[in-house]
Structure 1
């Protein structure tokens, strides 16, 4: 499992810190799944179309929890764990929305291109949309509860 502590950082450059903590493909996709479609469990993350391996998923979830991006709590029946974004994790929402906006502009086949109103709102009011999404996710919601993103 990849572990990064302050002493393990390649440098103290702000961009490097971000890349080392959340910059790998799988971490961002786990965060995406929480924010955009409301996934909360290991099994739900495993079903994402990108096909993450079980060992990689377990490692990424543990790493994101260790870094304070995710928190884990047992479900009410205790049969599975629920993963949610911490405040530190919620602070990544503006980054995620910027990536969505960039992708909508440059990927002709992006799923989100069909969400013209959403893209327009991100483009015109990025701070307001970020705060709205943070509040939504903080309260257990997601941007596309009906799975309209995938």
Structure 2
């Protein structure tokens, strides 16, 4: 890894995490937790196998991740962030929020993975009715399925499917993001190609009360 050779904390940080793909590997580990090599490959479409291996070694050398022998039934090596690596979570969140206006540009060949909704869920959604019973909402975006759990004032995302969700939202990633960010009202979801089935009350419970800054249209 090349160095900027500057006595500046920004330059020194970029010496460690400034190479291509590095912060996206951190994003995946923040979103998924402990991950197998194959999990990381699946979450980083376009990365070469040898480059992923190189970046993981560099992150390990820098003290940002550990390799752990997972017990059965996984029984393989998994990667996890160290506390120093987890401290990059704030950087990832700020980059994600800064990049929201750029999401207006969507190309049909853009890749999408369900775990990438974790940041929008944390940024845009809230439990506006914490006194009500817990609900779950299934999100179907392209071929990806994730669950949003809502209850006791908390909104969280999990990657496994639920056979009996309270509501289902299905549509393209840009339309889902526009709904989550308040740029599509729930009443106009169908006009933007979103299919909402089940409890619309459960969906309305988490949506922002006003559009998030920037645009996703």
User: Do they superpose with TM above 0.5?
Assistant: yes
| 1:88 to 1:118, Cα distance in 2 relative to 1, 3 A | same
1:75 corresponds in structure 2 to: 70
Q: What 5-or-longer segments of structure 2 have no aligned partner? A: 107-111, 126-155, 161-172, 174-217
Q: Normalising by the residue count of structure 1, what TM-score does the alignment of the two structures yield?
A: 0.67
Q: Normalising by the residue count of structure 2, what TM-score does the alignment of the two structures yield?
A: 0.48
Q: Which moved more, 1:33-42 or 1:14-23?
A: 33-42
Q: Which of 65, 74, 78 lines up with 2:60 in the alignment? A: 65
| 1:144 to 1:30, Cα distance in 2 relative to 1, 3 A | farther
Tell me how many residue pairs correspond in the alignment: 123
Distance apart, 1:74 and its partner CA: 1.1
2:88 corresponds in structure 1 to: 92
Give the ranges of 4+ consecutive aligned residues of structure 1 lying more than 4 Å apart after TM superposition: 109-117
Give me the whole-angstrom Cα distance separating, in 2, the residues matched to 1:51 and 1:22. 19
Give me the whole-angstrom Cα distance separating, in 2, the residues matched to 1:10 and 1:85. 26
Give me the whole-angstrom Cα distance separating, in 1, the residues matched to 2:80 and 2:118. 27
The 5 Å alignment of 1:128-139 reads: none
Give me the whole-angstrom Cα distance separating, in 2, the residues matched to 1:40 and 1:87. 16
Question: How much is the aligned-residue C-alpha RMSD, in angstroms?
Answer: 3.1
Greater relative contact order, per chain length (Cα 8 Å cut-off, separation 6+)? 1
Distance apart, 1:99 and its partner CA: 0.6
Give me the whole-angstrom Cα distance separating, in 2, the residues matched to 1:119 and 1:45. 23
2:36 corresponds to 1:41: yes
Give me the whole-angstrom Cα distance separating, in 1, the residues matched to 2:117 and 2:37. 28
Matched position secondary structure for 1:73: strand
| 1:104 to 1:49, Cα distance in 2 relative to 1, 3 A | same
Q: What 5-or-longer segments of structure 1 have no aligned partner? A: 122-142
User: Which structure: greater helix fraction?
Assistant: 1
Matched position secondary structure for 1:47: helix
